[in-house]
Amino acid sequence: MIAGRRAGKSRVAALIATYLAAFRDYSDVLAAGERGVVMVLAADTREARIVQDYVRGLLERVPPLRRLVRRWRQEAVDLANNVTVEIHAASYRGVRGYSLIGVIADVVSFWRSDEGSANYDREVIDALRPGPLTTGGPLIAGTSAYARRGEAWRHFDEHYGRDGDPTLVWRAPTLAMNATVDAGLVAEAFARDPVSASAEFDSEFRRDLESFVAPEVVAGAIEPGRLELPARAGVAYRGFADPSGGAADSYTLAIAHAEQGIAVLDCVREIRAPFSPDQATAEYAALLKTYGLSTVGGDYYSAEWVVERFRQHGIAYRRSEQSKSQVYGELLGPLNSGRVRLLDNPVLRGQLLGLERRTSRGGHDSIDHPPRGRDDVINAAAGAIVAVVAAPRFTVGGRKITI
């Protein structure tokens, strides 16, 4: 189901899940004591609970269905007919081993992973496919349209509008699916940004998005098994931080140096929320000093408190004059030409592969993480690498000096 925002995809998913759980008999395909599972997946369990709430409403408001309920759990409901409806965050590791009588995969175009995969939605769905083999249950995915890649685009491209095709692809705009949506608000969205609105409300896959860097380029830049390089005497290092207030985003720091024309990433650290910003800054200041650094570059949008906190620990914090998008743009050339060596860090790899290049109506490119994605780690790493690449170098007494 490729339908626009507010088209009712989650309600439809809940209705299908309830039907599969309550209105079909699985006694001939389930062994004694085996429970059949209707699995509902979304980008995270918070989003999956939206579908679960709709399921709960259906089960509790219809008396014959209410009598089927044996136990409500935080992320599941057990029915008297030996069937369970469970919600899951999309994970190829967490979906194995179930006897699936049906799968409802929600918002698949926006499944993201920090684990280094450029095809995470495909990996999860491939892990799901064996689950319903013995039950014959359906695998139904719903999403709004996004980029021309991933499982939603692949299925649309291969199966949409083809008579007799065993895979049904349903595409519909928001207003065709949900007459309660205000058409005037949709029209305003088209007036502001027709490209984005076409994807959000008309289910047209976007043509203005492309991957920032090819997977094979990233694979070639990674030094397998290299997690971190210790500080060495006589090496000129550069550091770059992406601070956070500690409530939601990670606080990251990266350190790099130049070696025979190659930008080498030595260290990348991430402190995930929640945390104390003061404590995190103190920890990073101590790390910078082990690499002989008394200054660190930082994210363009950093608040003044970061400058003050680093100063208290003897480190001068210099805000980057470039935006995050500009830093990523500076990174691409050295990456593509093989002049970057990265650490074998799954989060770094995943965030780098997830970056997208967007072209605005005015023809300007911007590079950023996708919706619901993150780029804390790659932002710090890119800043450190670009600082090394851009650093002025002079030769004094036969030695190359980086300042």
CATH of the domain at 195: 3.40.50.300
Report pLDDT for 118: 62
For residue 224 the two structure tokens come to 């397998």
- Which of 165, 183, 207 is the endpoint of a domain? 207
Compute the residue count for the chain.
403
Report pLDDT for 218: 92
Assessment of whether the complete model's pTM goes beyond 0.75: no
- On whether both 172 and 24 belong to a single domain, the answer is yes
Query: Of 258, 147, 285, 256, which is closest to residue 210 (Cα–Cα)?
Result: 147
- On whether both 268 and 356 belong to a single domain, the answer is yes
3-class DSSP state for residue 256?
A: strand
- Which of 182, 207, 232 is the endpoint of a domain? 207
- On whether both 166 and 46 belong to a single domain, the answer is yes
- On whether both 241 and 378 belong to a single domain, the answer is yes
Bond prior to 243 in cis (omega within 30° of 0): no
- On whether both 282 and 354 belong to a single domain, the answer is yes
Q: Which residues of the chain have pLDDT under 50?
A: 392-403
What is the residue-wise DSSP string for 168-194?
---EE-HHHH-TTS-HHHHHHHHHH-H
For residue 208 the two structure tokens come to 């203005």
Report pLDDT for 373: 80
- Which of 147, 174, 207 is the endpoint of a domain? 207
- On whether both 234 and 201 belong to a single domain, the answer is no
Report pLDDT for 397: 47
Asked whether 167 and 159 are in contact (CB, 8 A), the reply is yes
- On whether both 103 and 178 belong to a single domain, the answer is yes
The domain containing residue 394 runs over which residues? 215-402
Report pLDDT for 361: 59
Report pLDDT for 343: 97
The CATH code of the domain that includes 363 is 3.30.420.240
Number of domains in the chain: 2
Report pLDDT for 121: 87
- On whether both 171 and 257 belong to a single domain, the answer is no
CA Rg, the chain, in Å?
25
Report pLDDT for 402: 41
- On whether both 151 and 7 belong to a single domain, the answer is yes
- On whether both 253 and 200 belong to a single domain, the answer is no
- On whether both 98 and 7 belong to a single domain, the answer is yes
Report pLDDT for 292: 96
Q: How far apart (Å, rounded) are the C-alpha atoms in residues 227 and 221?
A: 14
- On whether both 228 and 171 belong to a single domain, the answer is no
Asked whether 338 and 221 are in contact (CB, 8 A), the reply is yes
Report pLDDT for 400: 43
Report pLDDT for 263: 96
